[in-house]
Structure 1
Amino acid sequence: MAFPLVGSGPGIFMPNSGVLPEFKDVFPYSDFVHWYETVHIPDWLRWKPGAITSAWRYQSVDADRDWPFLVAYKFPNISDLSSPDYITIPLTNPMLPEGGPISKFTHIEAVAGPHIETWRSGSTGDDRGPILVTEEIDPANVTTDKFQEWYRDVYIGEVSAMAGWRRTSRFDNGMGQPRWLALHEFEESSFGPNTTKIAGLLELKRDLSVQV
């Protein structure tokens, strides 16, 4: 099946995943990571020539997070994610327990959508920051125009002033709610509460409901 995605143009697909608790004995997280990095990501990159130009893999800094594994796939045209041939990506492999399918042993949550805008610190090119803070945004009791104005004129100024900030990219969530997605990238050397506690900036501003 294809993803029910709304939107086109450059965009990003981000599946967040991990091993289900009842299968951690038969499928240790280290085995999951090895399969994902050596088999599954290459399968995605081969799936449709030119559909994905880059993939970045992240590990949650929260050791207790249920779904600590995150991959960000960069699409020149995110509408390719709705292609019916998506089903050709293999879900079975000898490296998996019982040979798979992977869906039996893991939980996956995904967001995806077209790119809206990016703010950069200097000239970073396409190099990713080693620390990534993902943000899911649902404005509450404010109009879209007012939210856009606040985000661009106030919030980005506060985020970009944080030590080690490298780049922020915002996306329209073409898969539904939350309404918008944002990726904040930081230098590893500056990792700490002053650079990654993005939720603190949003706590009382403009009546926004935010998940970070």
Structure 2
Amino acid sequence: MSTSAIQGPGILFVRSRISPSANDILPEPTFLAWYDNEHIPEVVSTSGIDSAFRFVDIHKSSSSGDEQNPKPFLACYPMNDLAFTLGDEFKKIGFKSSALPGSGVIYDLADMDVSYLGIVGKTPSRREGERRGPKYVISSGIRPEKQPAEEQVTAFFKQVYNPRTITQISTLEKSPQYMRTLRFKLLYARTNAQSRALKGLPTTDEPHPEPSIWMAMHEFVDVPDEGFLKALDDDVDKAAEEGGWGETEVETLVWKLDRVHGNGKFFE
């Protein structure tokens, strides 16, 4: 996985948890206070990032995650050009704080997976006159065994994949709470090991993560019906079978918006 792919408009999609080894010394309120009072304000003060959205999994059972979602905290940073993350200004963003216990180094206390997602499309908002950002998001990620053509995946996420198949958007449009969908493609990913190397910290030879290659973020003004999750997963199974994608990993999660920072613009 090469950093040369990191360019163009998209988001940093950062999922995290408090490391199990730090559970006894890092309370969740301290972790989130660091995020909201120090880290995200520093990020959105840079020249390349002016908005951030912090979410929490609505089914979170532990600050250290669980089987359903091993990293229940999510921060999204929309950017006009993801290549900004390759420059010195971004690399100088702090990773150590006196507000954190122990070493104060966030990578010693929390596990963070960072996906660089390039935006490939969006649907018109069904509530254009009241755009204030989503209160809830369903993230629908897929990782096919055999990589389909981009236009095939795009067609699936839209409405024209197969007239006999209920596609993701047509399923979601049944909900009066549904707003719109943003579609992304994975460009690059890193875990704590690569993040530590980026900051010049001692690290390990940990392999790069393998998150979803294709991601749709479905925005809602209120909590979506749980029935949509199974319907979305079923849609992927049908598309994978009809498209010859092979065994396809699916991850469908519901996130509640917890805090907005900066300009609060998300590909308006």
Cα distance between partner residues in 1 of 2:33 and 2:234: 35
Residue of structure 1 aligned with 2:140, choices 122, 126, 135: 135
Residue 51 of structure 2 is matched in structure 1 by 54
Compare relative contact order (CA 8 Å, sep 6+) and give the higher one, 1 or 2: 2
Q: Is the 8 A contact 1:114 1:171 kept in 2?
A: yes
Counterpart of 1:150, as a letter, is F
1:179 to 213, 220, 241: 213
SS of 2:118 mapped into structure 1: strand
Partner of residue 79 from structure 1, selected from 76, 83, 101: 83
**Kindly tell me: are residues 37 and 146 of structure 1, through their superposed partners in 2, closer, same or farther at Cα, counting changes over 3 Å?**
same
Coordinate RMSD, CA, aligned: 2.3
What's the TM-score once normalised by structure 1's chain length? 0.86
2:122 aligned residue: 118
> Would the aligned equivalents of 2:11 and 2:82 in 1 still touch at CA under 8 Å?
yes
Q: Number of residue pairs matched?
A: 207
Q: Specify the code of the residue in structure 1 equivalent to 2:84.
A: D
Render the CA deviation track for 1:47-88: whole Å, top value 9, x for unaligned. x32x11210110111222342211110101111122243221
The correspondence for 1:150, drawn from 150, 156, 159, is: 156
Q: Are positions 1:92 and 2:96 aligned together?
A: yes
Q: Structure 1 stretch 58-67 or stretch 118-127: which is displaced more? A: 118-127
| Identity value in percent | 20
What is the Cα deviation at residue 126 of structure 1? Answer: 5.4
Residue aligning to 1:101: 105
Aligned partners of 2:86, 2:186: CA distance in 1, in Å? 14
Which runs of no fewer than 5 residues in structure 2 stay unpaired? 161-166, 190-209, 253-268
For structure 1, which runs of at least 5 residues remain unmatched after alignment? Answer: none
CA distance in 1, matches of 2:23, 2:233: 31
Change (3 A) 1:102 1:124: farther
TM-score by length of 2: 0.69
User: Which amino acid is 1:194 matched to?
Assistant: G
Pairing partner for 1:164 from 165, 177, 184: 177
**2:13·2:117 contact (CA, 8 Å) conserved in 1?**
no
SS in 2 for 1:89: coil
| Letter of the 2:251 counterpart | Q
Look up the match of 1:199.
Answer: 233
Q: Relative to 1, partners in 2 of residues 1:172 and 1:87: Cα closer, same or farther, differing over 3 Å? A: same
Return the alpha-carbon distance in structure 2 between the equivalents of residues 79 and 164 of structure 1: 34
AA of the residue aligned to 1:146: Q
Residue 40 of structure 2 is matched in structure 1 by 41
